A and B are shown apart, each in its own frame.
Chain A
């Protein structure tokens, strides 16, 4: 079925042929861009991943050889370490761990700060300060993290020293089993600003009479949150959670700035984006592998994007 007849089917009776033509004409520029920069590359990768490549020159049809090889690659999934839960586990599980830790933390912190700042004097300054991290280029965040965790000059180790925990002082980004969490903390710092901002506007949209009514009805602080605020900000929670998940699945610059193209010592905090970059741009060039990893990212992100787009 062609696009035209499909649209005609969906829109049918109410839209006459003339109107449909007009709609298509106006959609053409947008659709063209979408086709050239989104659908095209996706199809190109999907097809390309089934061939062998010599540099950037296409070779022979290889079927799912690259796909199978990729899932057996220790850099993508290190099955032995994964079962022992020891880093490096490979970019895919590490990326998922990042998601599992990062998303709830940044969401709840954002909500917490939004609630805390809601009735506070000087809230706009506080909000701006928290949101500043989100506006900072992620490469810079990565570099800042290097400074923060520096054993001599870093503020984090300085803090440990000042509270008498000298024994814990170390270069956190170089500790194989901990480094990823140190970086996740940085990611949370960035995303908290985003979720706080969304929650702040959602909270401002709640009719104060509802909360007063709940107070008169006898609900304490916790019940007012659980019964009134939380259900009313639910749509925002969905947006925040999914946007964070998509942000994490695409994460690259922080990791690259903090640990270079290898993703830290032995790739302990490597992520999918880094593997795409490495496969495509460092010798030996493995173009089909880059396509496969990029498609894995896409497969994870697409349903979430779809969910967000179809939300009311």
Chain B
């Protein structure tokens, strides 16, 4: 069992012209399931590859427990990795693929057979063992790749967007499957994805990355409830949080077109943003009896079954609202209201005030 620590880890490419990661500081506790979440190109895969040992950090240190591992080859770290395209050896059968890491490490044949049979059972691929990777379905390939990773009981389990090549239904299925296996085996796991739904549903802890740096480290609830910066607020949620930008004057927030909102909290910052999640806003056609409201014009109404997504134009920008049902139609003048406890206040640097 292993705890991973990254201390001020940076990675530069092209002689420093490209910064893939800058001063990453984070810990993955023993047995924890940590997700690196970020848009494509944010450096999450590079960070994972540095933990795997496929890349060496340009600066900083990586520790597995108390052993410094940066500079040691992947083979000596006892990590297992699942690649986005599965990276199954095409000239080997499913069994040979799963067996390969054991064979390389000189595990005797009887023990190999036993362990391969065990993981095959765990992942329900017993019937495909003698097929070639080219003959089995995407989901089965994914399982084979997982089986190959866990068969040698690694101390760290690394997954690089493992579900992105699967169709939506399989993805859901594999998501819970992965979570089950990780729970069962209790292996320290780092999972890279750009899909926040995956991140929220699987991660014990989520590391949000952008432009190569860590934006926030939090558990899924906290990430949703208290996004620390406007960037994270705009990244998490579907659709993400609405931000009303304005001036902090006379104890109120002055928005565009003479609209005002009360200040949700105290700040000395001149420019502020008030954030509200789409699901916390109500749409009403009549004049509301609260100060926590802004008027707007309905642009589109998207009935999505589960809820109705209303896009309202307020002061030149679009606000997304999720309501269970609505009578509003495109072109209507409406009032958006929300509870003060659902409002977030960000200062001029985009940092959360309250």
Contacts and interface: CB of A to CB of B under 8 A. Distances in A.
A234 B90 CA distance: 13
Interface stretch (A15-23, A165-173, A218-226): A218-226
Interface stretch (A204-212, A250-258, A295-303): A204-212
Contacts of B75: 215-220
A214 B104 CA distance: 9
Nearest to B85: A209
B91 A231 contact: yes
Contacts of B73: 215
A135 B27 CA distance: 58
A278 to B, nearest CB: 47
A213 B88 CA distance: 8
A286 to B, nearest CB: 51
B83 A209 contact: yes
A65 interface: no
Classify the secondary structure of B's interface with A: loop
Contacts of B194: none
A216 B104 contact: no
Contacts of A228: 89
A213 B105 contact: no
Given A216-B80, A218-B75, A218-B101, A207 B54 contact: no
A232 B79 CA distance: 25
Nearest to A212: B54
A217 B104 contact: yes
Given A212-B54, A215-B74, A207 B81 contact: no
Contacts of B6: none
A234 B81 CA distance: 27
Given A207-B87, A218-B75, A219-B75, A213 B104 contact: no
B52 interface: yes
A216 B74 CA distance: 5
Interface in A135-154: none
Interface in B76-97: 79-81, 83-85, 87, 89-91
Given A209-B85, A212-B54, A213-B81, A218 B104 contact: yes
Contacts of A217: 75, 80, 100-101, 104, 148, 152
Main secondary structure of the interface of A (DSSP, over half): helix
Q: How large is the interface on B (under 10, 10 to 19, 20 to 34, 35 or more residues)?
A: 20 to 34
A232 B54 contact: no
B192 to A, nearest CB: 14
A215 B100 contact: no
A175 interface: no
A165 B84 CA distance: 57
A73 interface: no
A227 interface: yes
Interface string B274-297: 000000000000000000000000
Contacts of B54: 212, 215-216
B81 A216 contact: yes
Contacts of A220: 75
Contacts of B101: 217-218
Contacts of B87: 207, 209-210, 212-213
B90 A213 contact: no
A207 B91 contact: no
B83 A218 contact: no
Contacts of B79: 216
Interface string B217-259: 0000000000000000000000000000000000000000000
A222 to B, nearest CB: 11
Interface string B317-332: 0000000000000000
A154 B85 CA distance: 54
A200 to B, nearest CB: 20
Contact of A207 (B52, B74, B80, B85): B85
Contacts of B52: 216
10 contacts: A209-B83, A210-B90, A212-B83, A212-B87, A215-B74, A217-B104, A218-B101, A219-B104, A231-B91, A232-B91
Interface of B: 52-54, 73-75, 79-81, 83-85, 87, 89-91, 100-101, 104-105, 148, 152
Q: 10 closest Cβ contacts across the A-B interface?
A: A209-B87, A217-B101, A213-B87, A218-B75, A231-B91, A218-B104, A216-B74, A216-B81, A209-B83, A219-B104
Interface of A: 207, 209-210, 212-220, 223, 227-228, 231-232, 234
Given A216-B52, A227-B89, 16 more contacts: A209-B85, A210-B87, A210-B90, A212-B81, A212-B83, A213-B81, A214-B104, A215-B53, A215-B74, A215-B75, A216-B75, A217-B101, A218-B74, A218-B75, A219-B104, A220-B75
